[in-house]
Structure 1
Amino acid sequence: MSAEPSLSQPIRSQPTQSQPTRVTIALATCNGAAHLQEQLDSYLAQNHEAWDLWISDDGSSDGTLELLRAFQIAESPRREVRIVQGPQRGHAANFLSLLCHPEFPAGPVALSDQDDVWLPGKLRLALSALKDAGPVALWGAQSYHTDVALRVIGRSRQPRRAPCFCNALTQNVISGHSATLSAGALDLVRRAGVPSGIPHHDWWLYQLVSGAGGAVVVDPALLIYYRQHRSNAVGAHQGLAPKLRRARMVLGRTYARWLGANLAALDRVSGLLTPENRALVAELRAAGPHPGPARLLTFRRLGLHRQTRLTTASLYLAAALGRV
């Protein structure tokens, strides 16, 4: 599929007192036709109307592109709707390559999954929070977990501990389907480029922004219907059973590979990190996965932790056993 040209290229002027901040919605799609229209309709229902939409499609073979092109035509000339070809290297690469597209607009950006539904106040609340958070900031909110028919079956919960780089190194607390970046955070992401091998784009955003000394805001507001189905790239993680699975996961090899890939990616862009966090990454890289009390003490001395006592204990056990 070739990149679809925009049917309208509105001028993105700087906001004034009479102009609302213009935000770009970044949508990653891949065979999402079953639920995509409901998400597109939820953009139109936002009470913040100054938005444009960029889509990276990762080779859809269902009706996704037809829905997107119909939406593009319907919304021209009110806003820019741009469709580009994704790299077809997985969910993380699809999102990050879109943010790093050479023509992607400057300014704040709200990430979107293809199968959720946003509540009407999502964009307005995100932009208001980012305005108060500082020039480099990452914002995320809570979501209702629903079944395929959007019947509520649960909800997300705020992390127990404040976001920070020492937590970001071990887990993610910013859900990608709610993440919104300030203009400065988008610039940071673009300077870092598209790292190879990282497991999750939202986890990378949390690491990069916190590592660079930016603000990470986790909002308690419930603003999204997060649809749960078999095709989710990553599903919800609430309840005792998922917590136990996460504790076991920390002792497994996959988690160790994730940590290693993230740490290598951070090392390659260490010039973007604060001096303190740059030194932390260098020390972790130099220590290597050697089992025993020394590895455990290194993790504790550097302040690495997860959000609960159980999963932090699992992390320290994994360190002592040489699993991470």
Structure 2
Amino acid sequence: MDTKPNSLTGLAAIDPRPSPKNVAVLMCTYNGQRFLAEQLESIERQSHESWVVAVSDDGSTDNTLEIIESFRERWGHEKIIAFQGPKRGFATNFLTLACKQSLHADFFAWADQDDIWLENKLETAVSWLQTIPSETPALYCGRTQGVDTHGHPLECSPLFKRPPAFANALVQSLAGGNTMVFNEAARQLMANAGENMDIVSHDWWAYLLITGAGGKVSYDPMPSVLYRQHEDNLVGSNSGWKARLLRLRMMLKGRFSAWNEQNLHCLSSVGNLLTPENQRTLESFKFARKSNLVGRLLGLHRAGVYRQTTPGNIGLFFAAIMKGI
């Protein structure tokens, strides 16, 4: 048992070697005192009761650590493990926490510090994940229900109906990390790819890597996370025409192309982890991006890439015309 003291308010990094079907809830925090207690209470209410919370704090200067300590006293020392984060942004914090080999569980769930989980979130995810062979990387994700700072309902995230696939992942992040639960095989795949990847976001990277390696992805149309919308959000809402227009503007201004370049650089460095078919899809997409107009359009068709909605695919077509992919 690893009981090496942790410098975060005296918490110990305890490795309890949890029982079967245990879920490690991977929460990253940074100055989260405003909503953190409400999120932890929603985890406490989960109908799936076998879980442990692993927190990676990226240098909070408010009362975040004190709140974590109070829940440790309330739940027992074995229910919360705390680590110091790498202080290189939220995506790196989530990825390094997922790759931490001192954590042992059957399944892993990323958690934001300011959301509220519905009581069936873990139970629903685990029920599906248990249907997948343990050696196959598997990822559960889904829609979110937006809420304001007071918890009042806002719009749900868009409903996606096309199948999850690597060809979709190359041009779109399917779901937020706050909805994602994955198995040990998926966690090990991320660890094999490396925790120091210069990724755009941890959720997009998980979708790319797991589909690319031939894993399974389930997208749940029923929200199980209340996604808090407030002025401190690092990633904004994905619903409504305003959000869609903002994404289109970013696509046409080159942000989409820069993100693709970053993702492709990371994927190319771990090409051996992809299936032969997806290696070919990746090469077709890379070739299309560097081609002339006709070559770009034909290359996109040959690669088979697609976004989940008709407006999204129209935006992808215009981005290709304007060399924005």
- The bucket for the TM-score relative to the shorter chain is over 0.9
Distance 2:115 2:103 in 1: 23
Distance 1:120 1:171 in 2: 29
Q: Classify the secondary structure of the residue corresponding to 1:73.
A: helix
Distance 1:63 1:5 in 2: 15
Name the counterpart of 2:277.
276
Change (3 A) 1:87 1:105: same
Distance 1:141 1:207 in 2: 16
Contact 2:146-2:227 within 8 A present in 1 as well: yes
Contact 1:28-1:57 within 8 A present in 2 as well: yes
Distance 1:196 1:63 in 2: 30
Q: Classify the secondary structure of the residue corresponding to 1:221.
A: coil
Name the counterpart of 1:127.
126
Contact 1:189-1:208 within 8 A present in 2 as well: yes
Q: Classify the secondary structure of the residue corresponding to 1:222.
A: coil
| 2:154 counterpart letter in structure 1 | I
Distance 1:146 1:282 in 2: 40
- How many angstroms does 1:244 deviate by? 2.5
- How many angstroms does 1:5 deviate by? 4.2
Deviations 1:16-63 (A, max 9, x none): xxxxx1110000101100000000111111111110111111111110
Q: Classify the secondary structure of the residue corresponding to 2:223.
A: strand
After the TM superposition, which segments of 4 or more aligned residues of structure 1 sit over 4 Å from their partners? none
Identity, % of aligned positions: 37
Contact 2:155-2:240 within 8 A present in 1 as well: no
Contact 2:116-2:226 within 8 A present in 1 as well: yes
Distance 1:153 1:183 in 2: 34
- How many angstroms does 1:197 deviate by? 2.7
- How many angstroms does 1:175 deviate by? 1.3
Name the counterpart of 1:32.
32
Instruction: Give ranges in structure 2 of 5+ residues lacking alignment.
Output: 1-5
Alignment of 1:174-185 (within 5 A): 174-185=175-186
Contact 1:141-1:178 within 8 A present in 2 as well: yes
Name the counterpart of 1:18.
none
Contact 1:291-1:320 within 8 A present in 2 as well: no
Alignment of 1:162-201 (within 5 A): 162-201=163-202
Q: Which moved more, 1:249-258 or 1:48-57?
A: 249-258
User: Root-mean-square deviation (CA), in Å?
Assistant: 1.8
Deviations 1:46-101 (A, max 9, x none): 11111011111111111001111221232225x33111111111111010011112
Alignment of 1:95-110 (within 5 A): 95-110=94-109
Distance 2:303 2:291 in 1: 16
Deviations 1:111-150 (A, max 9, x none): 1000001111111111001112443211013222111000
| 2:304 counterpart letter in structure 1 | G
Aligned positions, number: 317
- How many angstroms does 1:195 deviate by? 4.5
1:147 and 2:148 matched? yes
Instruction: Give ranges in structure 1 of 5+ residues lacking alignment.
Output: 16-20
Distance 1:102 1:162 in 2: 32
